[in-house]
Amino acid sequence: MKAFVLKRYGKKRALELAEMPTPELRDDEVLVEVHAAGVNQLDSKLRDGEFKLILPYRLPLILGHDVAGVVVKVGPRVRQFKPGDEVYARPDDFRIGTFAEFVPVKEASLAIKPKGLTMEEAASIPLVALTAWQALVEKANLKKGQKVFIQAGSGGVGTFAIQLAKQLGATVATTTSTANIALVKSLGADVVIDYKTQDFEDVLRAYDVVLNSQDGKTLEKSLRVLKPGGKLISISGPPDPAFGKEIGAPWFVKLVVRMLSSGVRRRAKSRGVGFSFLFMKASGSQLREITRLFDAGVIRPVMDRVFPFDQTNEALAYVEAGRAKGKVVIKIR
């Protein structure tokens, strides 16, 4: 099969188009013929070597964390899927590789794709939707009437998280640039802060939840807009001890992780608020919940651009520039 392969870690290093063996299926996996693959910041961070410590992949590596496609083969223990099914998923860590013609996905991480969506639209969803779901539903337990601040509302996670938070009955504040104010309002944002002319710390008070996706300076300011008992959930770091435990990291990695987040955890505690780091996980059952929202028409995909397969490196560079409205997708078939 054709695939874009990372041969060596390196900042902005180009992936190489190569002929690779079709992956071997494990008993609980499904082989998916990839029709489209979503592109995420996570892909460029992995390529740059930022996660070498916590995700020690063996190279050469095929990147890609979102897939929509058709089942072509199933393992002997698979019961829910059959060849011909149209599916989508965020493959598990250490089984990623959607920038390719085929990818194996664990049955437990797969779901039938939403009926009304194209393959490209479906491929734009899994990673960002699961991130928002695990942050707002699982970790924050966001309730009707609560106030949530979702940073970078026009980005991949932001466009989905705003819609999900509105479905949960929350009041939503977000940051965006002047050009994207209309977009985030159309998704349901109640309070929109133009980060080019306003500082969110001057506008927001006593919020229940903050979903942080930005830098350390923004993280610090976010602590100050929460009310006592509020929750700050960060998807951009620093990782916390619970995460080290969750991934079964060796003791020295756990120590590094503890040190990286000690400052923000201490400051959160002194303000009477909670801090947690989220590194989203694959989940077919959660994707099925998310599918219902798309099938009901209460949430819509937001896409910026679709690149052809041979422009995978250009797609990565476009996402890395941080200007995409919603998601960027590679069309493979």
Q: Are residues 98 and 12 in the same domain?
A: yes
Indicate if the pLDDT at residue 145 is higher than 90: yes
Reported in sequence order, the residue ranges of the chain that DSSP labels E, i.e. its strands, are: 2-6, 16-19, 29-39, 61-62, 67-74, 86-89, 102-106, 110-112, 147-150, 171-176, 191-194, 207-212, 226-234, 274-277, 303-308, 327-331
pLDDT of 292 reads 98
In this prediction, residue 53 carries a pLDDT of 85
Same domain for 271 and 141?
yes
Examine residue 287 and state whether it is found in any structural domain, yes or no: no
Average pLDDT over residues 238-249: 91
> What's the pLDDT at 307?
98
Domain co-membership, 75 together with 147? no
CATH code, domain carrying 71: 3.90.180.10
Q: How many Cβ atoms from other residues are within 10 Å of residue 57's Cβ?
A: 17
Share of the chain above pLDDT 90, in %: 96
294 is a domain residue: no
pLDDT value for 276? 97
Q: Are residues 158 and 194 in the same domain?
A: yes
Q: Which of 102, 312, 138 shows the shortest CA–CA distance to 87?
A: 102
Looking at the fold, whether 141 and 244 belong to one and the same domain comes out as: yes
Please tell me the predicted confidence (pLDDT) of residue 54. 85
φ, ψ at 147 (rounded to 5°): -110, 130
State how far the alpha carbon of 291 is from the alpha carbons of 18, 87, 112, 277, in Å: 34, 11, 8, 25
Model confidence pLDDT, tens digit, residues 66-123 = 999 999 999 999 999 999 999 999 999 999 999 999 999 999 999 999 999 999 999 9
Checking if the pLDDT of 46 tops 90, the result is yes
138/104 same-domain check: no
Co-location of 265 and 144 in the same domain: yes
CATH of the domain at 186: 3.40.50.720
Q: Do 165 and 106 have their domain in common?
A: no
Does residue 261 share a domain with residue 142? Answer: yes
Q: What is the mean pLDDT of the chain?
A: 97
Scan for tokens 């080019």, then name that residue.
Answer: 196
Domain that holds residue 190: 128-277
Q: What average pLDDT does the segment 211-238 reach?
A: 96
| Helix, strand or coil, per DSSP, at residue 72 | strand
Let me know if residue 289 belongs to a domain: no
Q: Is residue 290 part of a domain?
A: no
β 147-150/171-176 pair status? parallel
247 pLDDT exceeds 90?
no
**Co-location of 119 and 174 in the same domain:** no
Beta bridge partners of 197: none
Specify whether 89 is located in the same domain as 221.
Answer: no
The stretch 208-236 carries a mean pLDDT of 97
Segment 9-35, tens digit of pLDDT: 999 899 999 999 999 999 999 999 999
- Of the pLDDT bands very low, low, confident and very high (cuts 50, 70, 90), residue 259 is very high
| HSE-up (13 A, CA, CB side) for residue 42 | 24
Pair 55, 145 in one domain: no
Mean pLDDT of 166-181: 97
User: Is the residue at 295 inside a domain?
Assistant: no
Mean pLDDT of 317-322: 94
User: Does residue 142 lie within any of the structural domains?
Assistant: yes
Indicate the number of domains in the chain: 2
Report percent pLDDT > 70 for the chain. Answer: 100
